[in-house]
């Protein structure tokens, strides 16, 4: 290898890693702009079938730190009282009639439709993914994300980030083999309590569910300090008591 070629490779590697480092910082800022580190939220999930038929679910969600998420279904009546807990890679579902939590996986979906459990009980992106490549394309950053472990639902993400607000515009989710599983579209910038300004609507479609669409609408996001014990199997059936 000629000297100038070696210098070129070395410089591009350095620049690449610097960009990845910057990319990780960008990703952390994106996470904080989407939600506070610990918060409570109210969301509606809407599954839309190809014929336009809709099914709606309302969820109360609590999150603390990097690894704790709990959700409670408030409606419809058939799902009311169901709750889910995520502690790092562990996920459980509590169904009132069954009366005890059962372990579930990130790829399953407790609501049907395009959103799966990892979408509904999502941890911060920077916790599950590392930025491998960052591109600056004027008004947007384009981040290529790689899962930090094999237990994460999607192996790779391609995230378009609005440079001005540092929130995602679009995320494509891929398997390890490079197959596109779904695309998330972030819409309707909204200012919530505590001054959080972020897209209130996340739409998703998938080549695996031709013609189907699912929408997640944030109605309220608010900072909240929570005890660690809220995120335990013993408290899972009682989450409604702290609403």
Partner 1 sequence: MKQWLHLSAVAVFLTLLSVFPVLAQEEDEIDLSQIMKAAEKKSLSGGGFLEFQPSLIGLNRDSFFYQLNFGDQGPKRVGQYDFRVRLEGSYEKRTVGLYFTGDGLLRKGFQGWDSRARLFEGYLSLRLNPRFTLDAGKKTTKWGKGYAWNPVAFVDRPKDPEDLLEALEGFYVVSADITRSFQGPLKTLAFTPVLLPVLENLNSSFGKPGHLNFAGKVYFLLWNTDIDFLFLTGESRTTRFGFDFSRNLKSNLEIHAEWAWLTDLERIETSQDGRLSTTVSDEMSALVGLRYLTASETNFIAEYYHNGAGFGQRESEAIFEQAKSPSAVPGSRTGNSADAVFPPLLGIPNPMRDYLYFRTSQKEPFDILYFTPEFTSIFNLDDGSCQLIPGLTYSPQTNLLMRLRGIFLVGSEHTEFGEKQSNYRVEFRVRYFF
Query: Is residue 201 near partner 1 by the rule CB under 8 A?
Result: yes
Of residues 115 through 144, those in contact with partner 1 by CB under 8 A are none
Distance in Å, CB of 27 to partner 1, minimum: 22
CB-wise, 19 or 57, nearer to partner 1? Answer: 57
Contact 130, 146 (CB under 8 A): yes
Q: Count residues near partner 1 (CB under 8 A).
A: 67
CB-wise, 58 or 180, nearer to partner 1? Answer: 58
Query: Is residue 74 near partner 1 by the rule CB under 8 A?
Result: yes
Query: Is residue 47 near partner 1 by the rule CB under 8 A?
Result: yes
Of residues 81 through 100, those in contact with partner 1 by CB under 8 A are 81, 87-90, 95-100
CB-wise, 1 or 77, nearer to partner 1? Answer: 77
Query: Is residue 191 near partner 1 by the rule CB under 8 A?
Result: no
Residues 6 or more apart whose CB falls under 8 angstroms from that of 98 comprise none
Distance in Å, CB of 4 to partner 1, minimum: 47
Tell which one of 28, 36, 42, 183 touches partner 1 (CB under 8 A): 42
Q: Which long-range contacts (CB under 8 A, 24 or more apart) does 77-84 make?
A: 79/111, 81/240, 82/110, 83/236, 83/237, 83/239, 84/110, 84/117, 84/120, 84/121
Query: Is residue 207 near partner 1 by the rule CB under 8 A?
Result: no
The two tokens of residue 17 are 């890693």
DSSP character for 239? G
- 141 phi-psi bin (left φ>0, alpha ψ -120 to 50, beta other): beta
Query: Is residue 77 near partner 1 by the rule CB under 8 A?
Result: yes
Distance CA 117, CA 123 (A): 11
Q: Measure CA of the first residue to CA of the last residue in the chain; give whole Å.
A: 65
- 160 phi-psi bin (left φ>0, alpha ψ -120 to 50, beta other): beta
Distance in Å, CB of 97 to partner 1, minimum: 4
Residues 6 or more apart whose CB falls under 8 angstroms from that of 237 comprise 83, 94, 96
Q: In which residue are the tokens 């610097």 written? A: 18
CB-wise, 47 or 134, nearer to partner 1? Answer: 47
Residues that bind partner 1 in the complex, under the rule CB under 8 A: 42-44, 47, 49, 55-56, 58, 60, 74-78, 80-81, 87-90, 95-100, 102-103, 105-109, 112-113, 150-151, 153, 187-190, 200-201, 209-212, 215, 217-220, 227-235, 238, 240-243
């Amino acid at each position: 290898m000629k000297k100038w070629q070696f210098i070129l490779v070395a410089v591009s590697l350095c620049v690449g890693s610097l960009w990845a480092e910057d990319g990780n910082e960008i990703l952390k800022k994106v996470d904080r702009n989407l939600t506070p580190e610990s918060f409570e939220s109210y969301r509606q999930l809407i599954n839309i079938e190809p014929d336009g038929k809709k099914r709606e679910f309302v969820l109360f969600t609590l999150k603390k730190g990097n690894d704790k998420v709990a959700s409670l279904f408030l409606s419809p009546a058939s799902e009311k009282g169901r709750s889910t807990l995520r502690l790092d890679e562990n996920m459980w579902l509590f169904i009132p009639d069954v009366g005890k939590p059962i372990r579930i996986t990130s790829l399953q979906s407790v609501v049907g439709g395009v959103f799966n459990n990892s979408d509904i009980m999502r941890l911060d992106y920077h916790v599950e993914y590392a930025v491998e490549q960052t591109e600056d394309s004027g008004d947007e950053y384009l981040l290529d994300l790689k899962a930090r472990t094999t237990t994460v639902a999607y192996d790779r993400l391609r995230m378009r980030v609005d440079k001005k607000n540092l929130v995602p515009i679009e995320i494509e989710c891929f398997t390890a083999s490079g197959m596109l599983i779904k695309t998330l579209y972030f819409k309707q910038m909204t200012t919530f309590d505590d001054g959080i300004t972020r897209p209130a609507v996340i739409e998703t479609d998938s080549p695996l569910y031709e013609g189907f669409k699912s929408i997640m609408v944030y109605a309220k996001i608010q900072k909240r300090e929570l005890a660690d014990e809220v995120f335990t199997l013993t408290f899972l059936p009682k989450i409604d008591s702290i609403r």
